[in-house]
Amino acid sequence: MSDRTKGRVAILGVIALLVVVFFLPQTTWANGGTLRLANVVMGEYRVSVFTDPTPVRPDSLDVSLLILQDGQLGVAEDVEVVVTSRALDDQGVGESLVATRDQADDPRYYATKFALGAEGRWEIGVQVSGPAGEGEASFEITARDRGLLGHPVVLSVLALLPLILVGLWILSREEEEPGPTATAPADPEVG
């Protein structure tokens, strides 16, 4: 394999690796996200609440809850979880949804997915009730439309663009480099 071909293969390999690094993790981010409430005491339960995506968009919101019970290993069973949304700017219509483990991508969580429906400030409430107690808590979020520059594909392409341009520049420089050329001897009769 020539040096030129090895260089091209190396550049393409680096580009492929970066594409995988940028796009593959998105499939593993489900259930989790941004921590909104941590270890809130509700009876004997300790409740942590996460939202995804970050920043929050009005078209989709995943609210996931990790509910642990004091003195027990694993996720708390037989718990009813209700998630409510309320627009603080009077621009959207709130709703109340039941979060279940069936809706979660990760079996350790209770989750629900919904659309807020409008940009602005929102209050998200969680109510937990079960045999070991009950409680409620809330937090505020701001939903914004992500716009073109907030789209992960656009951001990935913009992040990779300098690398692609440098790779193309290196390839074009390799093609321009002249190989060894023979020079003709000087003609002694010209004079």
Q: What is the overall mean pLDDT for the chain?
A: 82
19 & 64 share domain: no
Whether the per-residue pLDDT at 85 is higher than 70: the answer is yes
Whether the per-residue pLDDT at 178 is higher than 90: the answer is no
Q: Which residue has the tokens 């483990």?
A: 101
Q: Label residue 184 by pLDDT band (50, 70, 90).
A: low
**22, 159 in Cβ contact below 8 A?**
yes
71 & 13 share domain: no
**36, 138 in Cβ contact below 8 A?**
no
Q: Span 163-178, mean pLDDT? A: 76
Number of domains within the chain: 2
110 & 165 share domain: no
Residue 63 maps to which CATH number?
A: 2.60.40.10
Q: Is residue 80 part of a domain?
A: yes
163 & 127 share domain: no
* pLDDT for the residue 115: 92
Q: What is the pTM of this model?
A: 0.64
Q: Is cis: bond before 55, omega within 30 of 0? A: yes
CA 190 – CA 40 distance, rounded (Å): 97
Q: Which of 16-30, 67-81, 106-120, 124-138 has the lowest mean pLDDT?
A: 16-30
Q: Span 119-128, mean pLDDT? A: 94
Q: Label residue 150 by pLDDT band (50, 70, 90).
A: low
Residue 117: Cβ-neighbour burial (10 angstroms; 0-12, 13-18, 19+)? middle
